[in-house]
Amino acid sequence: MTKVGHERLKETALEIRRSIIRSVHAAGSGHPGGSLSAVEILTALYFEKMQIDPANPKWEDRDRFILSKGHAAPVLYAALAERGFFPKEELLKLRHVGAMLQGHPEMKGTPGVEMSTGSLGQGFSTSIGMALGAKLDQRSNRIYVLLGDGEVQEGIVWEAAMAAAHYKLDNLTAFMDYNGLQIDGNTDEVMNIDPVTDKWKSFGWNVLVIDGHDFDQIFDALEKAENTKNQPTMIIAKTVKGKGVSFMENQVSWHGNAPKKEEAEKALEELGGVL
């Protein structure tokens, strides 16, 4: 990718971070930490990699993205709005009664949302079904899914992982947002998932480990995933919870806590924006 392309994506990522802060603050509740950690992944997918059309969100041959860690809805909504699926003004109505954007993604009323998620593991399972369906229909589109690291403590994830390898779903690329924190604390203390790389490999997946905030590494991993045959790919993305806001980074308290006015103003100042 050219230097200009990199700068464009970095600016887009910055704007998505600003939108996350504004929307969660306006809602008075939500999940900023795990939304901020996934920004580069969604920016790479929605603004460079995926074949999608905001003017025709139900285009049959589109690529699909599923946010399996549905509580990180603010990053998905911010990316969709920035990409043009709906007006950015909707972001400031997050979680309001009767608004389009609720606390977890809802596929029936939100353009660009492929699956209603929130119950951990179910979005990942659905991605396997979508990938298998595309194979059966002989379609060339790809399926992308993002899991949280705490999410992979769920048994449903490993049943789905086994099925994906069994059916050789090489049209499926999963990301694991490995920021090391979940609602109750450090993942290695709540329920240690390591050696998670070896676990995915043992389930028959092609596994790549990257810096989840580095666009070069993200795109390199995506290219390797496309060139891998007869195996689904898991990209373990090492990230920082709360990335981009100094007082939120690596702080479990920002898993599900909305910034107050002063905190939102400080966060946006660091991100080059205003409330």
What does the mean pLDDT of the chain come to?
97
Beta carbons of 125 and 131 less than 8 angstroms apart: no
Distances (CA, A) of 73 to 32, 55, 116, 118, 151: 9, 21, 10, 9, 15
Residue 48, SS3? Answer: helix
Give the DSSP H or E segment for 66: strand 64-67
pLDDT band at 42 (very low <50, low <70, confident <90, very high): very high
Instruction: Kindly report the length of the chain.
Output: 275
| Confidence at residue 6, expressed as pLDDT on a 0 to 100 scale | 85
Task: Give the orientation angle of helix 261-270 with respect to helix 3-27, to 10 degrees.
Answer: 180
Q: What is the DSSP string of 157-223?
A: HHHHHHHHHHTT-TTEEEEEEE-SEETTEEHHHHS---SHHHHHHHTT-EEEEEETT-HHHHHHHHH
| Confidence at residue 5, expressed as pLDDT on a 0 to 100 scale | 82
Strand partners, 146: 67, 175
Q: Where are the domains of the chain?
A: 7-271
> Which two tokens mark 265?
């103003």
Tens of pLDDT, residue by residue over 154-178, are 999 999 999 999 999 999 999 999 9
Tens of pLDDT, residue by residue over 102-160, are 999 999 999 999 999 999 999 999 999 999 999 999 999 999 999 999 999 999 999 99
| Confidence at residue 161, expressed as pLDDT on a 0 to 100 scale | 98
| Confidence at residue 3, expressed as pLDDT on a 0 to 100 scale | 67
Distance, CA of 196 to chain centre: 19
Which of 3.30.56.10, 3.40.50.970, 3.40.50.300, 3.90.228.20 is the CATH number of 7-271? 3.40.50.970
Other CB atoms within 10 Å distance of the CB of residue 62: 18
Of the chain, the percentage scoring pLDDT greater than 90 comes to: 98
* Overall average pLDDT of the 68-77 stretch: 98
Q: How far is 150 from 160, CA to CA, in rounded Å?
A: 16
DSSP 72: G
Q: How far is 255 from 25, CA to CA, in rounded Å?
A: 14
